[in-house]
Structure 1
């Protein structure tokens, strides 16, 4: 299902891609949580995007640290952004 969601996203069908990412994320799929967070962030749904990125990071998706840093910087939460950028550099999942 992740491959289908990725395909839909790549061809610009973000609404259907979101449905699949959300279904997978709700079942605990870390990569889907990360993808859903990124998709929501691009749409400006920052609060929900942050929630999914934090969940992804909590279950070991270390790439989520970078995206959290980006999102928090956009929300002028600079100290938190720096923390997550540093985590991304270190590659620490927790």
Structure 2
């Protein structure tokens, strides 16, 4: 009985986490479409940080470009770029499966 309850709890937890992840992906896609033409540097940092956080990099989403965000985005994207614009494009390409 306890094992069954635990299995049900784990399954429900996984399904809830998966739903949140898919919801966040949809929000990212919608946000990207809306901001594509007029993204500020801070918007790009938020996009990068959200992508990193939901990929398990443990980056804080604060809109600030710092060493941890830069290094995590380089690792995630496989790019050695250091500018926000270049890393934004690299992270976006990786997220969309183009890298």
Specify the TM-score bucket, using the shorter chain as the normaliser: 0.3 to 0.5
User: Could you state the TM-score of these two structures normalised by the residue count of structure 1?
Assistant: 0.34
More helix by share: 1
Q: Which has the larger radius of gyration?
A: 2
